[in-house]
Amino acid sequence: MQDGLGWIGLGRMGEAMVKRLLSGDHAVKVWNRTAAKAEPLAQYGARVVPSKEDLAGCDVVFTMVSTTDDLKEVLFAVGGLVAGSVKPRVVVDCSSISLEGSAEIRARLEALGVAYLCTPVSGNAKVAKAGKLLMVSSGPKTLFDRVEPYLQAMARKVLWVGEGELARVWKIAHNTMFGVVIQNLCEITVLAEKAGIPRHVFLESINESVLGSMYTRYKTPVLSNLNFDQVTFTPRLLLKDMDLGMATAKGLGVSMPAAAATRESVARMVGRGHDQVDFAVLLVEIARDAGLELRPENVQISDGLES
């Protein structure tokens, strides 16, 4: 008999999303490669299990991992979720993975009788904690309708964009824009500061203009105070997504010159050793190229994401 929800992958995003499900009175069993990251969820009501196979009896299992290869491993390798005789009915993957990899995973799961829904998200861990994620799904519409109540427990908005891997295309396009916007935001901020406008004042003016967005607002405290140790997304992960964007564009015959230039800028940032910090450290690199040494402004600014 199938029962409840399962979750694989408890990084910053996965942990926050599981807490939203638990707060919505959904029973969730969880597994993580590093078991210590799973244990704290027990106090919120999650049942921590020692192996992925212990989730195979769940009706729906969510996955949130880093790469296509990571997802294949947790699903199909020895001891994987669907490697045994018992299998879940549905896998809902929320990771950012390649279009081709997702299609391969769909074919392998469906051959085993397991339904598959792509559901990547827009938002970082703080957005997830506040319940303000955007979740975009593709796959059979009837399957989306079935799991939508669980998605609603984690998000401010849930969308179905069509069949197959279309949600992967959406996520790749989204994160490619993500990179281009931070590149441009850092460039114009350096321009304004070198001319003499205080950084936080310039960013506030952008936030209050037609160009302002949730994105510019939640990046304003980080860019003003240079607190890049508060990680939402690393340069290496951004580079992975930019590469996915460029590969998808090449496959579809779409020219993306702004994204191509941004990809090289992000690659240089990674090459300079920026890894376990927030990708907004790009501001420092662009300022250095302009002969500008930045200092923290130490101002109190709300990012608008308080739960």
Nearest to 20, CA basis, from 135, 107, 191: 135
Stretch 13-17: mean pLDDT: 95
Assess whether pLDDT exceeds 50 at residue 116: yes
| pLDDT higher at 303 or 178 | 178
Contacts of 258 (CB under 8 A, 6+ apart): 180
Stretch 209-234: mean pLDDT: 93
What pLDDT, on the 0 to 100 scale, is given for residue 124? 87
pLDDT band for 125, please (50, 70, 90 cuts).
confident
Assess whether pLDDT exceeds 50 at residue 1: no
Stretch 177-193: mean pLDDT: 97
The vertex-174 CA angle with 135 and 208, nearest 5°, equals: 95
What pLDDT, on the 0 to 100 scale, is given for residue 307? 42
Assess whether pLDDT exceeds 60 at residue 306: no
What pLDDT, on the 0 to 100 scale, is given for residue 2? 52
Which superfamily, per CATH, for 169-289? N-(1-d-carboxylethyl)-l-norvaline Dehydrogenase; domain 2 (1.10.1040.10)
What pLDDT, on the 0 to 100 scale, is given for residue 180? 98
What pLDDT, on the 0 to 100 scale, is given for residue 304? 67
Nearest to 115, CA basis, from 142, 84, 134: 142
Write the pLDDT tens digit of every residue in 247-302.
999 999 999 999 999 999 999 999 999 988 999 999 999 999 999 999 999 999 88
Write the pLDDT tens digit of every residue in 48-93.
999 999 999 999 999 999 899 999 999 999 999 999 999 999 999 9
What pLDDT, on the 0 to 100 scale, is given for residue 157? 97
Measure the CA–CA gap between 52 and 72, rounded to whole angstroms: 13
What pLDDT, on the 0 to 100 scale, is given for residue 276? 87
Contacts of 187 (CB under 8 A, 6+ apart): 286
What pLDDT, on the 0 to 100 scale, is given for residue 297? 96
- Domain spans in the chain, listed from the N-terminal domain onward: 5-163, 169-289
Q: What Cα–Cα distance (Å) separates residue 191 from each residue in 38, 178, 195, 196?
A: 44, 20, 6, 9
Assess whether pLDDT exceeds 90 at residue 16: yes
Longest dimension (CA), the chain: 67
What's the chain's average pLDDT?
94
Is residue 65 within 8 Å of 9, Cβ to Cβ?
Answer: yes
What pLDDT, on the 0 to 100 scale, is given for residue 173? 96
The CATH number for 5-163, chosen from 3.40.50.720, 3.30.465.10, 3.40.50.1100, 3.40.1360.10, is: 3.40.50.720
Write the pLDDT tens digit of every residue in 23-40.
999 999 999 999 899 999
The pTM (predicted TM-score) of the whole model is 0.88
Measure the CA–CA gap between 146 and 148, rounded to whole angstroms: 6
What pLDDT, on the 0 to 100 scale, is given for residue 70? 96
Phi and psi torsions of 63, nearest 5°:
-125, 140
Write the pLDDT tens digit of every residue in 93-113.
999 898 999 999 999 999 999
Assess whether pLDDT exceeds 80 at residue 303: no
Least confident of 62-66, 195-199, 232-236, 266-270: 232-236
% residues pLDDT > 70 (the chain)? 98
